[in-house]
A and B are shown apart, each in its own frame.
Chain A
Amino acid sequence: MQYSESEHKRLARAYRFKKYGVAYLFLSPNLLFFFIFLVIPFFWVLWLTFNSGGILTPTKFVGLQNWSRVLQDPTAWRSLLNTLYYMAIAIPTVFAIGMGLALLLKRTTKFVTPIRAMIYFPTLAPIVVGALLWIFVVHPDFGLFNTMLRLLGLPIVNWLGNPATALPTIASLEVWRGSGYWTVLFLAALLALPTELFDAAKIDGAGAIRRFWHLTLPLLRPTWLFAIVMATIWNFQLFDSVYILTDGGPNYSTATAVWYIYKNTFQFDKPGYGAAMSFFLLIITLVLAVVELRLMRKKA
C-alpha cells in the first residue's frame, strides 16, 4: 500500500462527504421543519404535561397531577371509548365501501375520469361543506335517511339528536368523506396487480369471488397494512365534524378524544391537561399501530 491507513481514512471521509453531502443538503429543510414542528414540540408537550397554568399565567410544576387527573376523569374515558366505538364502526365500513367502489371502478371503462372525480369529491370538500351537506342527509324532517325510512314505512330517527345514533351518524359522515380517498388508494393498488395472476387463476378454475378472497385480498396486503395503520391514526383524531355538528353532544355521546383535548387546551385554558391527554392518546395510538403491524406481519 502506498497510502497510510490514516490517509485512507481521511480520503474516504472526504469521498463520503462528497457522495452524501448533497443528500444532506437537500434533506436539511425537511429536517429543520421536522425538528421545529415535531421533535421540539414533542418534548415541549411532554414538559407541559407536568405543569399547570394557562397561556397567559405562569406555569407551575405539578408532577403527575395532570396524568392522574386524566385517568380519573370520566369524560376523558368516555371520549376515548367513544373514539374507539367510532373507529369500530367507521373503519370497516369505509374499507368495505372503498374496496367495493374500487372493484367496480376497475371494471368501468366509460366516463372513468368524471366518475372518479365524483367519488373523490367528498374527500376534497372542506369539512364545513361536508357537514352542511350531511345536515341535509340526516335532517329528521326532510333528510335523505328519514325520507328513505318513510318510503319504507319505518319510523324516522332523530339521527344527531339521539345519543344512541349520534356517533354512528358522525361515522356515516366520515365514511362518506373518507371513502373517496380509500377508493382511489385501493383502485391504484388493484390496477397495479399483475393481470397474469388473475388470468392464471381463471384458468385454475377460480370464480370472481374466490379470486377476490384468494388473490385480490392477500395480494393487497401491503396496501391493507398501510390502510389499517393510517386509518387507525387518522380516525383517532376525529374532531372537526364533531366540533361542527354536535360539539360532543348530546350528553357527551359524540365526545371524542381529540375534541376533549381541544376543549381543555383551548377553551378551558388547561394546556397541561390537554397535553397529558394527548400523550395518553399518543401511547394508545402507538400501541394499536404496533399491534396491527405485528399482526399483519405475522401472517406474512
Chain B
Amino acid sequence: MSEIDKLVDQLKNRKIDRRQFLIKGAALGVSFSALGGILAACGGATATPAATETGTAAATATTAAATETATATAAATETATAAASATTAASTGGTVTIKYWKSAHSDHEKEYWDKIISDFEAANPNIKIDHTITTWETWDETYTAAFAGGDPPDVSYMPDQYYIKFADANQLMDLKKWVDDPSWASEKQAFFENPWKGGQYKSVQVGVPAFSDSFFIYANLDLMQKAGLSGAPATRDEMVQWAKKMTDAAAGTWGYGAATSAADSADFWYMQYFHDDGANFLNADLTANGFNNDAGIGSATFLQSLWCTEKVAPQAGSYNRSGLLDLFKGGKVGMLMEEASQHGDFKTANLPFKYDIFLQPGGKVKQTSFGNFGFNCMAAASKNPEEAWKWIAYIDSAPVVSDIAQKYGFAICRGDVKMYVSGGPYDDPIYRKIQEEVSPKIQGFQMVPQIREVVQDLNSQMEGVFGCTATPADALKTAGDQVDQLLKG
C-alpha cells in the first residue's frame, strides 16, 4: 500500500482529522487552494485588497443561506403536516425514497453499505435508500448548502460538533416521538448515558448515537518494563512517578506525551483531566464558563507540572501531534494520550514494542475519556419521517451497528453488544478494552452553538499553560472572561 493510499485510507477512516489530512496530503496534490482562494489569494492583476475577497466568500455563502433559510424554515413547518399525508401515500402502496448521507470511514464504504441497504430494502419493500457518500473534506459546505437550500438528506450521519449548528438552527427533527415510544424502550435502554445525552440539544433529541471515538493513554510496555512498572497508575501522583521513571534525556525518552496546541485541538488531550476534576468548558446550565474555578485551576496546575516542573513531556511546541505519534512509534514515549482509532494504525505499523492502553488516573470527581460521538440525524424538512426513522432504527440496531463498527474498527455507543470478543471474528483485546472499559466513560462536548469559539478561547490560553509562560489561574481567568462575555452575547 502506498503512502498516498494509506493517507486516503486514514482519512476515510476518520483516523486523522482534516487538518492532518491537508498537511499529509500534499503529495496527493490536495492543495489548500480552495481555502486559500477564498481567504488568501488576491489575484495578481487586481489590486483589490483581500478583505473584499475574504468577505466575498462569506457573503456569497451567507446571503445565499439567509435568503433561503426563510424558505427552508417555512418548508420545515409545513413538513410536519405534509409528512402525515406522505406516509399515508407510502403505506397505500407507493415507494418512498429516503436520502441517506454519510462520509466514508472506510475504503469499502460502498460495499459495506450496499449490503446493509439491500437487507433493509428487502425487509421494507416500500422504502428505497438513496445513499450518498460525502467527503469529510467538504463536509461543512456540502451539508450547509443542502440544509440551507431546503433539500437536505432525510438521514445524515453527523459527529457531535458537526450537528450542532444544524440543531441550533432547528434544522434537525426531534426524534422524541419515536425514541420514547414504548416499542423502542428496550433499544433505548441499551445506549450508554453520555452518548445518548450527546444526541440531545436543548431538550430536543436530534440524533441517535452510532459510533464513538475516545482518548486514553497508550503505554509502551517495553519502557514500562525497563522502569519496573506494570498495570496502570492509580493516581495522578503515581502517574507522575511513572512518567519520571520513563523519562531519560540520554536515551531521548519521555514519560508522557500529549498534543498541546490549538492547531492540534489540544482540548482532546487535556479536557478529560478537567472533566475528572469536575470542571468543563461551561457550567451545568451552559450560562458561563465551567473551568475558571478551583477544579479547573487544579487540573491545569497538574498538567502544567508535567511540562514545566517535572519536565516529563517534550517541550510544548517542539512536537506537534504527528511528531508525537512518530516519537511514540519510535519507542520514545512511555505514555501517549491518543485517540482510539490510532490503534488500527499502530497495529498495521508493526511497532517494535508491545503496548497496552489505560485511562488516565481519575481526578477528584470521576474518571472519564474525552471523546466524541457520531449520530444519525433526521432533517426536520424530511417529507417521510416515518420511513426515515425506520432506517435510523435499523442502522442503529445492535447487529447492524456492531457489524459495521467492527469493520471500521470503531467503538459503538450501546452496551448490549459484545464486540471484539476473544475467538470472535473481530478478536482484539485492545479494541475490547476500548469498547468495554473506555466507551462507557466517554464524556463529550457540551452542546452550545458557541462551542467552537469557547474551545478556541480555552485552547489559546492553555497554550500558555503548557508553554510555561502563564500561570493556570491567569490563563483560565482570561479565557473564562472571554467565554462569559461570549455567552452573554
Contact = CB atoms under 8 A, between A and B. Distances in A.
In-complex A–B contact (CB below 8 Å): yes
8 closest A-B pairs by CB: A161-B317, A282-B51, A45-B55, A247-B263, A41-B56, A44-B59, A56-B169, A278-B55
Interface of B: 19, 22-23, 25-26, 29-33, 35-36, 39-42, 44, 46-63, 65-66, 69-70, 73, 140, 144, 147-148, 165-166, 168-169, 171, 261-263, 315-318, 320, 323, 449-450, 452-453, 456, 459-461, 463-464, 466-467, 469-470, 482
B58 A275 contact: yes
Contacts of B263: 243-249
A269 B165 contact: yes
Given A45-B56, A127-B31, A162-B467, A251 B460 contact: yes
A237 interface: yes
A180 to B, nearest CB: 14
Contacts of A162: 317, 467
Contacts of A47: 59, 63
Contacts of A268: 450, 452-453, 456
What is the predominant secondary structure among interface residues of chain A facing chain B? helix
A271 B26 CA distance: 29
Given A38-B52, A244-B22, A267 B58 contact: no
A281 B171 CA distance: 34
A236 B39 CA distance: 11
B224 to A, nearest CB: 23
Given A42-B56, A282-B52, A240 B40 contact: yes
Contact of B54 (A51, A247, A278): A278
B52 A56 contact: no
B73 A58 contact: yes
Tier of interface size on chain A: 35 or more
B97 to A, nearest CB: 24
B32 A128 contact: yes
B49 A267 contact: no
Nearest to B49: A285
B317 A251 contact: no
Contacts of B469: 163, 250-251
Contact of B50 (A48, A233, A251, A266): A233
Central interface residue in B58, B66, B169, B459, by most chain A CB within 10 Å: B58
B346 to A, nearest CB: 22
Interface stretch (A205-213, A216-224, A257-265): A257-265
Contact of B35 (A37, A240, A283): A240
Contacts, number: 245
A162 B468 CA distance: 10
Contacts of B467: 161-163, 250-251
Contacts of A234: 42, 50
Given A236-B51, A285-B50, 11 more contacts: A38-B46, A41-B57, A47-B59, A47-B63, A56-B165, A128-B25, A239-B39, A248-B460, A251-B460, A269-B449, A279-B55
Nearest to A269: B165
A230 B158 CA distance: 42
A55 interface: yes
A160 interface: yes
Central interface residue in A56, A270, A281, by most chain B CB within 10 Å: A56
A128 B147 CA distance: 31
Given A59-B66, A161-B316, A128 B50 contact: no
Given A128-B25, A281-B49, A48 B55 contact: yes
Central interface residue in B30, B39, B320, B467, by most chain A CB within 10 Å: B39
B6 to A, nearest CB: 16
Contacts of B60: 41, 44
A135 B320 CA distance: 9
A53 B32 contact: no
Nearest to B60: A41
A261 to B, nearest CB: 6
Central interface residue in A37, A38, A44, A160, by most chain B CB within 10 Å: A44
Interface string A30-62: 000000011001101101100101111111000
Contact of A252 (B50, B169, B315, B460): B460
A257 B467 CA distance: 23
B323 to A, nearest CB: 8
A274 interface: yes
A132 interface: yes
A252 B460 CA distance: 6
Nearest to B38: A262
Contact of B66 (A58, A230, A270, A279): A58
Nearest to A165: B317
B461 A251 contact: yes
Contacts of A38: 46, 48, 52-53, 56
A246 B261 contact: yes
Given A57-B69, A249-B463, A140 B315 contact: yes
B316 A128 contact: no
A41 B50 contact: no
Given A58-B70, A262-B39, A282-B51, A244 B169 contact: no
Contacts of B470: 251
Contact of A139 (B30, B58, B65, B318): B318
Nearest to B21: A128
B55 A57 contact: no
Contacts of A286: 49
B54 A158 contact: no
A153 interface: no
A188 interface: no
